[in-house]
């Protein structure tokens, strides 16, 4: 039986990071990335640590601002204002989720759009939706990179995006539209999901439902990008990570597929650093 090609996001991210490291070494000033973490959410602590490690490994400057869980919104906004005004900081990322009591929309709106390396500011979301250059959310940007690397031109292909969040699904759909795909966005209220996905030359799954996409949801030869990261129990009592796609079953039908872990995940941090470099260049004119 034919087996799909595995799209190696880890290798693609490593190659990108190596290229950026060389580029940063030649710059007169190190680009700076500031990460703001409020509270002690365990998963967020791990993400922030990884981001800082990769930022430094790439030769950039890492600024970490850790604030206690009871930090008020006004105090957080004051930190963001200071980072906006700091000329040595090119990118600002506020780790989500924020503790209850802080309005994430108000916080994201306070970040200078020119330093919004997560691409979540409404100005950057609007630029993406209207086809103007801006900073694009890292995860969908990483997915687009892998798709271009795998398929070359995406023009005319049928793409289905499962999930409509503002951080993955919607920006992913805009990026695919920008590359001339015919795009369908599906969500929890969509009817006949398998019927929709079986028409997809490109299927991006970003729903957060372990192994929801089975072999019978996939068009033979399709390219599958699995964004989902789900922790599930193992028979021995431990846990393991799985995506939104039943990987082994999909391998028999798809043309190419990203694994979980080792697919989209590593690309997200690579794109964060790429956005920091983009912001640095744009700010220097």
Site residues, ligand NDP (CB under 6 A): 139, 162-165, 167-169, 187-189, 193, 206-209, 227-230, 264-265, 268
Concerning whether 41 is annotated as a catalytic residue, the answer is no
Complex with ligand NDP: residue 134 or 259, whichever CB lies closer: 259
The torsion angles phi and psi of 164, rounded to 5 degrees, stand at: -130, 35
Catalytic residue among 54, 115, 116, 118: 118
Concerning whether 30 is annotated as a catalytic residue, the answer is no
Work out how close the CB of 88 gets to ligand NDP at its nearest, in angstroms, rounded to a whole number. Answer: 27
Complex with ligand NDP: residue 206 or 257, whichever CB lies closer: 206
Catalytic residue among 30, 51, 115, 170: 51
Residue 261 preceded by cis peptide, ω within 30 = yes
Complex with ligand NDP: residue 124 or 268, whichever CB lies closer: 268
Concerning whether 86 is annotated as a catalytic residue, the answer is no
Work out how close the CB of 58 gets to ligand NDP at its nearest, in angstroms, rounded to a whole number. Answer: 18
Work out how close the CB of 27 gets to ligand NDP at its nearest, in angstroms, rounded to a whole number. Answer: 27
Complex with ligand NDP: residue 50 or 84, whichever CB lies closer: 50
Catalytic residue among 30, 95, 201, 219: 95
Catalytic residue set: 51, 95, 118
């Amino acid at each position: 039986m034919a087996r799909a090609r595995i799209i190696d996001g880890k290798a693609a991210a490593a190659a990108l990071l190596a290229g950026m490291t060389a580029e940063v070494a030649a710059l007169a000033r190190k680009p700076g990335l500031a990460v703001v973490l409020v509270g002690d959410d365990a998963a967020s602590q791990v993400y922030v640590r990884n981001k800082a490690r990769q930022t430094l490994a790439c030769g950039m400057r890492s600024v970490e601002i850790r604030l206690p869980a009871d930090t008020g919104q006004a105090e957080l906004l004051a930190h963001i204002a200071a980072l906006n005004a700091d000329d040595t900081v090119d990118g600002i990322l506020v780790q989500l989720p924020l503790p209850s009591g802080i309005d994430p929309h108000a916080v994201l709106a306070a970040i200078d759009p020119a330093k919004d390396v997560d691409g979540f500011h409404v100005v950057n979301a609007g630029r993406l939706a209207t086809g103007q250059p801006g900073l694009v959310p890292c995860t969908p940007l990483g997915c687009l990179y892998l798709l271009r690397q795998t398929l070359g031109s995406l023009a005319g292909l049928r793409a289905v995006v499962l999930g409509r969040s503002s951080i993955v699904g919607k920006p992913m759909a805009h990026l695919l539209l920008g590359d001339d795909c015919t795009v369908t966005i599906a969500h929890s209220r969509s009817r006949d999901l398998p019927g929709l996905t079986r028409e997809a030359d490109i299927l991006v799954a970003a729903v957060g439902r372990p192994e929801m996409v089975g072999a019978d949801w996939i068009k033979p030869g399709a390219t599958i990008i699995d964004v989902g990261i789900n922790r599930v129990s193992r028979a021995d009592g431990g846990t393991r990570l799985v995506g939104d796609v039943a990987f082994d079953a999909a391998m028999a039908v798809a043309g190419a597929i990203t694994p979980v872990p080792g697919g989209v995940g590593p690309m997200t941090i690579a794109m964060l650093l790429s956005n920091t470099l983009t912001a640095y260049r744009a700010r220097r004119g």
